Amino acid sequence: MASGTVLIYDEEMTTHKLLWSDPICDIEVPERLSSSYEQLKCYHLVERCVHVPAREGSEEEILLVHSSEHLEVAKSTQTMNEEELKRVSENYDAFFFHPNTYRCARLAVGATLQLVDAVMSGKGRNGMALVRPPGHHSQRNAANGFCLFNNVAIAAEYAKLKYDLQRILIVDWDVHHGQGTQYIFEEDPSVLYFSWHRYEHQEFWPSLKESDYDAVGLGKGKGFNINLPWNKVGMGNSDYLAAFFHVLLPVAFEFDPELVIVSSGYDSGIGDPEGQMNATPEVFAHLTHFLMQLANGKLCVILEGGYHLKSLAESVCMTVKTLLGDPVPQITGEMAPCRSAVESIQNVRAAHKPYWKWLTYEDTSFLQNLSTKSNLLKKANSNLSTEHDSKITNSNENVKVERFLELHMKSILFPVPPIKTATTDSTGLAHFLPVAVHLVKEMDKTEIKTLVSGFYVDLVEDDKTLLSLGSMLAILDKILKKEVRNGIAASPTPAVSAAVALRHSVRFGFQR
Ligand code: Q9C
Ligand code: ZN
């Protein structure tokens, strides 16, 4: 039985680097890989994964997607000097060659295929490959947007061939449109490609007409290419979740893939200089968790973009942690998607309604005519503004994203209460409880009295009441300290206990 989560990382992929000055390419640095791996170590996630070595992708494997001309050009750069490398690089839109780029790109392909093999053979349930250079902009005959070989596209073709797969889902949550992947599969109904991307009505790179929602695929592939263009920056957790709920997931469950591959760029996360979006790292835990429900859990996550080192690393950790089966962190804050996101979502749903019956079944009228609703709703909908509130993004200049993430990750990762139930009754209840039970030491009688008299003057001072209150407060303390999630106390005077408990929790600063 497949049980583990596979992690693939090879330090050699940090040797591909920019040798000259180029303000367009200088964000694609080796530290993207090394600092993500360091953060995984830091959270003790590396030691929980199954390690599979990378390998070089073979020429034959690369030719599944690319032309032999493209392969030969790439191969020829291995022995070039800096001047020659610069000249070849200039033939492409946003790409740089280093003498070891070809070797790294072959490792990136091979690492991706190793992950597919591990997941398809049952060596692991799911996994992530940390690779450089990325792949989703790369096309049959061209490097593009930091990508030389299309790792994910090659993996999909490889999986179709080697494992005789009929349906593969590629989810591209990178903030850029993976136009390379779209071109490769646009006529192919066996590969469903979903991409959301910063678009701004074609203003944002790569500024293509075919990145819009009306590019649904060609010929037999009609309906199997799904583009969700974001026409505003500042999209956040609620926008991403709405996109999953109302576009990707209905289609994905209807498609019923045999394998899911993620083009996993984290430039769609908060702080990224390219994406300018607002989604926090824990949203990637949720996205991952949803995708784990497809294809019997066979999920391969392949790194693409992500240029804010801290945001990237935290998001990678969230993804791996979720792949390992840890509970997903709660998402807090405004949960309504913004107006621009709703508009994009409605457009892509309309474009795909002819192809997917699950899009017609679902009623989304609640997403329409928002302004005609009650005042209360209107107030809530003021969050559905044309532009996002300035809480985080607009104040980018003054708020340090790094500092924000530091505090943010501390608060979401550390105080997660374990699924434990406290009880004060060691005899009667213990055997009913499905999980670990922590016995709470009852409080000392005078201790309870002092505590309770502070806000409950006319307290009946019988032993039973005090004992009951003590048990209750002891459990409450454990809940507030997040040592347990809930608790059971045997109480002869529930009403009094509840009242005291409530006041006690208010004292601790509970808001609701
Ligand atoms: N004016 C990935 O995230 N920007 N690639 C070019 C040209 C290139 C991003 C801007 C961004 C490439 C894998
Ligand atoms: Zn990107």
- Of all protein residues, the one whose alpha carbon is nearest to atom 13 of ligand 1 is 305
Any idea what DSSP says for residue 246? Answer: I
Least confident piece of the model among 39-53, 248-262, 463-477: 463-477
The mean pLDDT value for 68-92 works out to 98
CB 131 within 8 A of CB 303: yes
Amino acid at 53: P
* HSE-up (13 A, CA, CB side) for residue 46: 13
pLDDT of residue 509: 47
* Gap between the Cα atoms of 94 and 141, Å rounded: 15
Residue 169: strand pairing partners: 192, 260
**What confidence tens digit (pLDDT) does each residue in 215-239 have?**
999 999 999 999 999 999 999 999 9
pLDDT of residue 378: 41
Amino acid at 341: A
Least confident piece of the model among 26-30, 57-61, 181-185, 368-372: 368-372
- Of all protein residues, the one whose alpha carbon is nearest to atom 5 of ligand 1 is 145
**Rounded to the nearest whole angstrom, what is the distance from the C-alpha of residue 129 to the centroid of ligand 2?**
16
H-run or E-run covering 50: strand 50-51
Which atom in ligand 1 lies closest to the alpha carbon of residue 146?
5
Q: Say which residue the tokens 């000055």 belong to.
A: 21
Is the predicted pLDDT of residue 360 greater than 90, yes or no?
Answer: no
Share above pLDDT 70 across residues of the chain, in percent, rounded to a whole number: 79
pLDDT of residue 278: 97
Least confident piece of the model among 232-241, 320-329, 387-396, 496-505: 387-396
Confidence of residue 415 (pLDDT cuts 50, 70, 90): low
Amino acid at 428: G
Give the burial string for 165-193 (b: 16+ CB within 10 Å, else e): bebbbbbbbbbbbbbbbbbbbbebbbbbb
Least confident piece of the model among 121-125, 184-188, 430-434: 430-434
The mean pLDDT value for 88-104 works out to 98
- Of all protein residues, the one whose alpha carbon is nearest to atom 2 of ligand 1 is 305
H-run or E-run covering 438: strand 437-439
Q: Which ligand is nearest to the CA of 177?
A: 2
The mean pLDDT value for 471-480 works out to 76
* Gap between the Cα atoms of 292 and 298, Å rounded: 7
CB 85 within 8 A of CB 97: yes
Least confident piece of the model among 6-20, 45-59, 354-368, 427-441: 427-441
Residue 482: other Cβ atoms inside 10 A:
12
- Of all protein residues, the one whose alpha carbon is nearest to atom 9 of ligand 1 is 145
- pTM for the whole structure: 0.80
pLDDT of residue 512: 40
H-run or E-run covering 6: strand 5-9
Q: Cα dist. 238→15, 71, 270, 344, 445 in Å?
A: 37, 41, 13, 14, 49
Is the predicted pLDDT of residue 79 greater than 70, yes or no?
Answer: yes
pLDDT of residue 413: 76
For ligand 1, mutation pick of 25, 90, 93, 197 (most atoms within 8 Å of CB): 93
What are 437's two structure tokens? 């039970």
Q: Would you tell me which CATH number, out of the four given (3.40.50.620, 3.40.800.20, 3.40.50.970, 1.20.1630.10), belongs to the domain 5-327+400-412?
A: 3.40.800.20
CB 176 within 8 A of CB 145: yes
On the 0-12 / 13-18 / 19+ scale of CB atoms within 10 A, 473 is: buried
pLDDT of residue 391: 44
HEC letters along 58-126 = CHHHHCCCCCHHHHHHHHHHHHCCHHHHHHHHCCCECCCCCCCHHHHHHHHHHHHHHHHHHHHHCCCCE
If we measure between CA atoms, which residue out of 469, 427, 429, 426 comes closest to residue 446?
A: 469
Confidence of residue 371 (pLDDT cuts 50, 70, 90): very low
Q: How high is the mean pLDDT of the chain? A: 87
* Gap between the Cα atoms of 338 and 387, Å rounded: 8
* Gap between the Cα atoms of 385 and 379, Å rounded: 11
Q: Which is higher by pLDDT, 198 or 387?
A: 198
Confidence of residue 503 (pLDDT cuts 50, 70, 90): low
**Rounded to the nearest whole angstrom, what is the distance from the C-alpha of residue 142 to the centroid of ligand 2?**
17
Residue 263: strand pairing partners: 172, 302
The mean pLDDT value for 341-345 works out to 97
* Gap between the Cα atoms of 365 and 310, Å rounded: 39
SS3 state of residue 365: helix
Q: Which ligand is nearest to the CA of 173?
A: 2
Which atom in ligand 1 lies closest to the alpha carbon of residue 135?
13
Confidence of residue 440 (pLDDT cuts 50, 70, 90): low
**Rounded to the nearest whole angstrom, what is the distance from the C-alpha of residue 150 to the centroid of ligand 2?**
13
Range with top average pLDDT, 327-331, 360-364, 414-418, 497-501: 327-331
* Gap between the Cα atoms of 291 and 299, Å rounded: 7
**Rounded to the nearest whole angstrom, what is the distance from the C-alpha of residue 399 to the centroid of ligand 2?**
23
**Which residues have beta carbons under 5 A from ligand 2 (an ion)?**
174, 176, 265, 267, 305
Least confident piece of the model among 1-10, 220-229, 251-260: 1-10
**Pocket (CB within 6 angstroms of ligand 1):** 24, 94, 134, 137, 145-147, 174, 176, 205, 265, 267, 304-305
**Rounded to the nearest whole angstrom, what is the distance from the C-alpha of residue 134 to the centroid of ligand 1?**
11
454 phi and psi, to 5 degrees?
-55, -30
Confidence of residue 457 (pLDDT cuts 50, 70, 90): low
227 phi and psi, to 5 degrees?
-110, 125
Amino acid at 48: R
Any idea what DSSP says for residue 248? Answer: I
Is the predicted pLDDT of residue 472 greater than 90, yes or no?
Answer: no
Is the predicted pLDDT of residue 104 greater than 50, yes or no?
Answer: yes
For ligand 1, mutation pick of 137, 202, 302, 315 (most atoms within 8 Å of CB): 137
Amino acid at 453: S
pLDDT of residue 436: 45
Least confident piece of the model among 145-154, 373-382, 398-407, 450-459: 373-382
Catalytic residues: 137
For ligand 1, mutation pick of 205, 207, 208, 307 (most atoms within 8 Å of CB): 205
Is the predicted pLDDT of residue 432 greater than 60, yes or no?
Answer: no
Q: What residue spans in the chain does CATH classification 3.40.800.20 cover?
A: 5-327+400-412
Confidence of residue 348 (pLDDT cuts 50, 70, 90): very high
Range with top average pLDDT, 98-107, 402-411, 475-484: 98-107
The mean pLDDT value for 256-285 works out to 98
The CA-CA-CA angle for residues 81, 87, 90, to 5°, reads 140
Strands 259-264 and 126-130: unpaired
